[in-house]
Amino acid sequence: MLKEPISITALRSISPLGNSLDEVWSNYLEPRHHLSLIQKGNQKVWVGELNNKLKNEIENLRAEDGNYKNLDDSVLFALLSARKAIQDAKWDATDNFGINIGSSRGATALFEKHYQDFLQNDSTATLTSPTTTLGNISSWVAHDLKTKGPDISHSITCSTALHAILNGVAWIQSGMADKFLVGGSEAPLTPFTIAQMKALKIYASTVTSYGVENDFPCRAFDLEKTQNTMILGEGASIACLERGGRSNSLAKIIGLGYATEPLQHNVSISTDAKCFQDSMTMALSGQSPDNVDVVVMHAPGTIKGDLSEYKAVEKVFYKKVPFLTTNKWKVGHTFGASGMLSIEMAILMLLHQKTIPIPYVKSQNKPKTISKIMVNAVGFGGNAVSILLQSSN
């Protein structure tokens, strides 16, 4: 499928783990979660929220330009991450790079605020529409970075960020762009959004059956759990894509796969995740499954979601199941940004040649070297994406 490898020359995120690769790696080495038990509306809930330092950076960004004071956090998260990413990649506006940054929920808090105002006043503020439309994420990033390339926003629920990679690669391979900024941003920690997840009966309890409150409340990829334990997190993650091999490449994209699950209802997935089987097989594209060292799973922390993906991995990698891991037990599920945060996790393992285990999952055989990593994401609607990364060394 790929005419040539696509290099990831920079990746920056903001998440409960921090905002630099060194800081995020340091926090991954700690066998503890970065989730918080906080009050949201009338409920006490587990969430993955930014630390105070990052919250201050976001507020400083909001204050630096009069146009930014009315923007939703989802836009500001993307702005901050994008600035840092292109600085690391040494891009500037004259490169006219493309932008594709998506979000599952978009301007969550701002939309809810404006709708509440409408219910009370039967009218809306002037900027309600332009500041809540999904397209304002990429367009504000384009404005901030002053690039004249194409800018695209989209929502494909929790596989949004990996679909942004698909789009960026397609533009580059078509010859219509040489560089693309891709990723996802999500600020979903609102009482209404959490209530939606609780209505689906997939959200973690404040006190789990596994121990005290500071134990691991999100049991992502715990195949023996008896209750759903998904937790929402906030953050953004943005990567710089460039054509071919690059001397400053963090990792190379060597395979892409995508598939859609035949649905029985709005949130269904088959017991062996046929969509993941198809997307992983496509991403391998004739390469031996035995050469994949690690799979970073979507694993949202739900009973059915985790188990079905594991069964899909078993079917695709039936001779040699790779080392399996996920980051949602540590930072929560960041919806549209989650796939790129998983790419970040994969890149860190490639760079440091060390696996990142899940503390409560039984020991797995660790690869002696890490050369290739598969990253999965899927969202409501069964839109699965798998990305195969290879070390640049």
Nearest to 320 by CA among 290, 291, 297: 290
The tens digit of pLDDT for each residue in 14-54 reads 999 999 999 999 999 999 999 999 988 787 899 999 999 99
Chain CA centroid to CA 357, Å? 18
- Asked if residue 239 has pLDDT above 60, the reply is yes
Close Cβ partners of 102 (under 8 Å, ≥ 6 residues apart): 134, 137, 153, 154, 155, 156, 160, 161, 163, 164, 183, 184, 185, 336
Band of the pLDDT at 230, cuts 50, 70, 90? very high
Band of the pLDDT at 264, cuts 50, 70, 90? low
Average pLDDT value for residue range 160-186: 97
- As a whole-number percent, the residues of the chain with pLDDT over 70 amount to 96
At residue 64, the pLDDT reads 94
φ, ψ of residue 242 in degrees (nearest 5):
-140, 150
Close Cβ partners of 33 (under 8 Å, ≥ 6 residues apart): 216, 217, 218, 329, 330, 331
At residue 263, the pLDDT reads 63
- Asked if residue 326 has pLDDT above 90, the reply is yes
Which residues in the chain belong to E strands, given as ranges?
6-14, 36-40, 43-48, 98-102, 151-152, 179-186, 232-233, 235-243, 251-260, 294-296, 323-325, 372-377, 383-391
pTM of the model: 0.96
Q: Assess contact for 221 and 308: CB atoms under 8 A.
A: no
- Asked if residue 229 has pLDDT above 70, the reply is yes
Q: Assess contact for 251 and 389: CB atoms under 8 A.
A: yes
Average pLDDT value for residue range 294-301: 97
Average pLDDT value for residue range 323-327: 98
Q: Assess contact for 270 and 308: CB atoms under 8 A.
A: yes
One-letter amino acid at 351 equals L
- Asked if residue 114 has pLDDT above 60, the reply is yes
At residue 286, the pLDDT reads 82
Band of the pLDDT at 153, cuts 50, 70, 90? very high
- CA distances 36 to 56, 212, 231, Å, are 18, 13, 10
- Asked if residue 182 has pLDDT above 90, the reply is yes
- Average pLDDT, rounded, for the chain: 93
At residue 261, the pLDDT reads 80
- Asked if residue 209 has pLDDT above 80, the reply is no
At residue 270, the pLDDT reads 64
- Asked if residue 390 has pLDDT above 80, the reply is yes
At residue 102, the pLDDT reads 97
Average pLDDT value for residue range 64-88: 96
Q: Assess contact for 391 and 350: CB atoms under 8 A.
A: yes
Strands 179-186 and 232-233: unpaired
- DSSP result, 43-104: EEEEEE---HHHHHHHHHHHHHSGGGTTS-HHHHHHHHHHHHHHHHHT--GGG--EEEEE-S
At residue 266, the pLDDT reads 46
- DSSP result, 110-130: HHHHHHHHHHHHSS--TTHHH
Nearest to 255 by CA among 385, 101, 382: 385
Map residue 208 onto helix, strand or coil.
coil
Domains of the chain listed by start with CATH number: 6-243 (3.40.47.10), 251-391 (3.40.47.10)
- As a whole-number percent, the residues of the chain with pLDDT over 90 amount to 85
- Asked if residue 1 has pLDDT above 70, the reply is no
